Amino acid sequence: MIFIYSSKVTPQLIHQILVTKQILKNENYCSQQNICSEINGVENLTFFKAIYKSDYVLVFNIIDLLKISLLRFFFRYKIIFRIRGLLPEEHEYKRGKNYKNIILNYIEKISFKKADFYLFLNENQKDFYEKKFLKFFKNSIIFPNVLFDKVASYDYKKVNNNEITFAYSGGISEWQYFDEILSFFQKFSRKNSELEVRLKIFTFERNFNLVAQKLKENNISDICEYSYVEQDKLVASLSKCDIGIIFRDNDVINQTSSPFKIADYAASGLSVLTTESLKNQTELLIPSPYVFDLNFYELKNELYDNVIQKIMDNIHYIKDNDRTKIINNNYQDSFYNYNYKPLEDFFERSK
């Protein structure tokens, strides 16, 4: 039995669990495994009963990895580690170097090698840890944050080439470059005044007041709308748009990440405007004619003319009746582009 454990449950973690279950339930090698319902971290009798019956325990961060590895003195199970992100580096990025950063690096150093199998988000993440710990992680596979059973339907209505709708799904923190997204959209709409251009923003209700203020400051309130959509309805809402936007820093944290936003856009059949740090990841899920990118210098200096021209030069791809079908097919087919053999071998050896 596989026991999925986390000491803290968040909406993002629920997504991670759903992604990971796709791999573990693969009928080619894991149909014989029973997956225990995840526990919300309350280490009561239920927790110990579950862990006692488990052949494998799956964790998502270095704190839980350390905890579960210490408990292995009393129980017999293999540990599978799904690495969500670079915890010490993310802490340093947000708060600078301090004592907590030193502690997190120490915990990572002593716990990381305790896992028996690793589920990395992408090749960059695997390379990062192999260089950091001078260790080759043979018992591992690469699998990004994607949900392959969640794709948009498309009714093949005739498209209107005189309109284009951008979409942004997410928060409005500084690191998400929301201000730059609005700046880009403002410039795009002004340079293409002959088109009916709109921006749909999907964000949390707590952000509404600030979003309204920023739209007003950019003088684009009349061509933008914002709303909160439940996760299970997000793909249906996004699929009514043409281009999804995601901007990120060009740093190791983003290069080794796998934003769910990219998968949501791909599942919705959208073209994507992104930054160079995420271009390779985006093109794993979305064919390159539908991907447009800014380099970091262009982003920071609001030099949008080149990418605006590229979008307009490829408007026939973006507004193609078959766009959603092509992107959806590529998205679902990408499931088979990954090598699952090391995981199959791991389960076989562990019998």
Q: Where are the domains of the chain?
A: 2-143, 163-333
Task: Say yes or no to pLDDT of 197 above 50.
Answer: yes
Task: Say yes or no to pLDDT of 226 above 80.
Answer: yes
Residue type, 289: P
Question: For residue 242, which of 315, 149, 158 has the smallest C-alpha distance?
Answer: 315
Contact between 30 and 347 under an 8 Å Cβ cutoff? The reply is yes
Question: For residue 87, which of 65, 62, 69, 121 has the smallest C-alpha distance?
Answer: 62
Give CA–CA dist 11/132, Å, rounded.
Answer: 30
For 116-138, what is each residue's pLDDT tens digit?
Answer: 999 999 899 999 999 998 888 99
Question: For residue 295, which of 278, 315, 281 has the smallest C-alpha distance?
Answer: 278
Give CA–CA dist 7/202, Å, rounded.
Answer: 29
Supply the CATH classification number for the domain 163-333: 3.40.50.2000
Which residues make beta-bridge pairs with 80? 58, 117
Six-digit token string for 260: 């769910």
For 264-312, what is each residue's pLDDT tens digit?
Answer: 999 999 999 999 889 888 888 899 889 999 998 898 888 999 999 999 9
User: Which superfamily does CATH assign the domain made up of 2-143 to?
Assistant: Glycogen Phosphorylase B; (3.40.50.2000)
Q: CA 57, 10, 340: angle at the middle one, nearest 5?
A: 45
Six-digit token string for 298: 């262009």
Q: What pLDDT does residue 152 have?
A: 67
Q: What pLDDT does residue 217 have?
A: 95
For 325-343, what is each residue's pLDDT tens digit?
Answer: 888 888 888 877 788 889 8
Question: For residue 224, which of 186, 169, 180, 264 has the smallest C-alpha distance?
Answer: 186
Task: Say yes or no to pLDDT of 21 above 50.
Answer: yes
HSE (CB half, 13 Å, CA atoms) of 277? 20
Task: Say yes or no to pLDDT of 245 above 70.
Answer: yes
Percent of the chain with pLDDT strictly greater than 90: 36
Spell out the residues 6+ positions from residue 156 whose beta carbon is closer than 8 angstroms to its own: 321
| Model pTM score | 0.85
Domains 2-143 and 163-333 share a fold: yes
Q: What pLDDT does residue 254 have?
A: 85
In this prediction, residue 33 has a pLDDT band, given cuts at 50, 70 and 90, of very low
| Average pLDDT of span 42-71 | 79
Six-digit token string for 327: 């992107």
